[in-house]
């Protein structure tokens, strides 16, 4: 199994076909027979955290999802997750490009755009301890490791509080200028759990540290994008097409700031892979970038 440009190829009889998500081959066969009804995708957001280093492109932060997870268990991914209805709260403290600005980029309404940005920030804090917020539009919190921060993070995970409530309690504003809209991927129609996911890139804020705090992961790691891609090709790190594609794209930048700046001109047209079956029984996913 390998990825070539806009393809994710699984040769017939390949031992590596075991590295696609469990059930994919059966789901695809049922989908091709017309026995599978596509479900509407749910909105989600994910953040590609980048950390500069001296000897090459910035490192990227990856989570290995717990094998017990119902979606992509055992696969490597970026911090992220589903939108919470409260993520669209219009009363949230906000600094940076407005919800209207983001709505124009996503081709959505303001409530949906606000929810995607808030989900990205909330999920990143929940899964890594990194928070894109500050007292004002010129600053960002420098340390979120104290017990008080951890209590707030757990309250977000349990949904005892919303992101808007958490930020208001600490007199913070969401720093949307720290996030770069990178891409938008929709889960293929043959999957029973489908997501319309907004991908963002962001530099790790100065002074902040990532922490392995998510109960949904087996491990976390910082590594160069090239190493992650090589591990995927070798079968050592399982990844879905959006993850591999994004790693290939950010590998070309020398610094995290370069990647965030480049995000400003990227199209956010939704990308969805489709299946192509070959006469020899092999199949691949393909998509338009």
Q: Which pLDDT does position 11 carry in this prediction? A: 38
Q: How confident is the model at residue 257 (pLDDT cuts 50, 70, 90)?
A: very high
* Statement: residue 117 has pLDDT above 70: yes
- Rounded Cα distance, 180 and 264, in Å: 6
* Statement: residue 21 has pLDDT above 70: no
Task: Return the domain boundaries, the chain.
Answer: 2-286
Q: Which pLDDT does position 70 carry in this prediction? A: 57
Residue-wise pLDDT for 145-204, tens only, equals 999 999 999 999 999 999 999 999 999 999 999 999 999 999 888 888 889 999 999 999
* Statement: residue 213 has pLDDT above 90: no
Number of residues assigned to the chain: 289
Hey, CA dihedral for 255, 261, 262, 266, is it positive or negative?
positive
User: For tokens 């953040």, what's the residue?
Assistant: 47
Mean pLDDT throughout 77-96? 94
* Statement: residue 109 has pLDDT above 50: yes
Alpha helices in the chain (DSSP H): 24-32, 99-106, 110-128, 147-157, 163-169, 225-233, 241-250, 256-263
3-state helix, strand, coil in the chain (%, to 5): 30, 25, 40
| Percent with pLDDT over 70 in the chain | 83
Backbone angles phi, psi at 253, to 5 degrees: -100, 145
Q: Considering the chain, what is the average pLDDT of its residues?
A: 86
Backbone angles phi, psi at 255, to 5 degrees: -140, 160
Q: How confident is the model at residue 282 (pLDDT cuts 50, 70, 90)?
A: low
Mean pLDDT throughout 14-24? 50
Q: Which pLDDT does position 191 carry in this prediction? A: 81
2-286 CATH:
3.90.79.10
Give the residue with greater pLDDT, 13 vs 90: 90
Q: Which pLDDT does position 9 carry in this prediction? A: 42
Q: Which pLDDT does position 55 carry in this prediction? A: 83
Q: How confident is the model at residue 88 (pLDDT cuts 50, 70, 90)?
A: very high
Contact call for residues 268 and 106 (beta carbons, < 8 A)? yes
pTM: 0.86
Residue-wise pLDDT for 30-75, tens only, equals 777 777 788 899 999 999 999 999 888 899 999 997 666 656 567 8
């Amino acid at each position: 199994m390998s990825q070539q440009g806009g393809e994710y190829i699984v040769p017939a009889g390949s031992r590596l076909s075991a590295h696609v998500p469990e059930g994919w081959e059966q789901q695809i066969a049922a989908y091709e027979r017309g026995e599978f009804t596509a479900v509407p995708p749910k909105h989600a957001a994910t953040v590609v955290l980048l950390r500069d280093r001296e000897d090459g492109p910035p490192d990227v932060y990856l989570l290995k999802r717990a094998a017990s997870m119902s979606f992509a268990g055992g696969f490597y991914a970026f911090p992220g997750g589903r939108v919470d209805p409260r993520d669209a709260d219009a009363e949230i403290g906000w600094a940076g490009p407005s919800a209207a600005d983001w709505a124009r980029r996503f081709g959505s309404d303001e409530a949906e755009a606000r929810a995607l940005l808030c989900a990205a920030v909330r999920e990143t804090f929940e899964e890594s301890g990194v928070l894109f917020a500050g007292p004002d539009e010129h600053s960002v919190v420098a340390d979120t490791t104290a017990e008080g921060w951890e209590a707030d993070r757990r309250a977000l995970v349990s949904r005892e509080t919303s992101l808007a409530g958490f930020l208001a309690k600490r007199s913070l504003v969401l720093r949307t200028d720290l996030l770069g809209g990178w891409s938008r991927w929709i889960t293929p129609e043959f999957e029973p759990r489908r997501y319309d996911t907004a991908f963002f890139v962001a530099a790790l804020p100065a002074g902040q540290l990532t922490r392995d705090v998510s109960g949904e992961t087996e491990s976390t790691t910082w590594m160069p994008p090239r190493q992650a891609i090589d591990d995927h090709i070798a079968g050592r790190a399982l990844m879905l097409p959006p993850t591999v594609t994004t790693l290939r794209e950010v590998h070309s930048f020398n610094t995290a700031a370069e990647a965030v700046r480049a995000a400003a001109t990227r199209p956010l047209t939704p990308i969805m892979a489709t299946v192509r079956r070959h006469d020899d029984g092999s199949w691949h996913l393909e998509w338009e970038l």
